[in-house]
Structure 1
């Protein structure tokens, strides 16, 4: 249960940074708004985070370096169309 709460908070933290992300830019280009925009951005960032986590693991990053790298990578990632 604590893990689910923590995961929810992390997801919320990522969603709150969506305004600066490539995913939000893509959503605006697609002229999405409201729930459709939120859903698109959430999925886009989750997909980007998964790819960035794999890339960080391949670079053998850990701790704060990995967290920072993944965060930057997610914000800069081009969305999967």
Structure 2
């Protein structure tokens, strides 16, 4: 009888730990690469465009060339720098943002 209780207790403990492991969230995913971040930003900016217009816009946006028409507004620059700073924290992020916002990006 003591053996059955010990085996049952071991089985329950194993099931509980397995359930806890299965319910644990996935490890934090790796930060996005610059290209992935650019893709996300360009995709959001292309909202409302369709067909050839969207295709041309995405090609230009993803090529990472500055727009020939008008310089970036401060808000656009902040959005772009913020997207590029994904994955950076603390002093590293602060230094990157300062550099990015002061550059002609």
Give the TM interval when normalised to the shorter protein. 0.3 to 0.5
Higher relative CO (Cα under 8 Å, sequence separation at least 6) belongs to 1
**Largest Rg, 1 or 2:** 2
TM-score of the aligned structures, taking structure 1 as reference length: 0.37
TM-score of the aligned structures, taking structure 2 as reference length: 0.29
More helix by share: 1
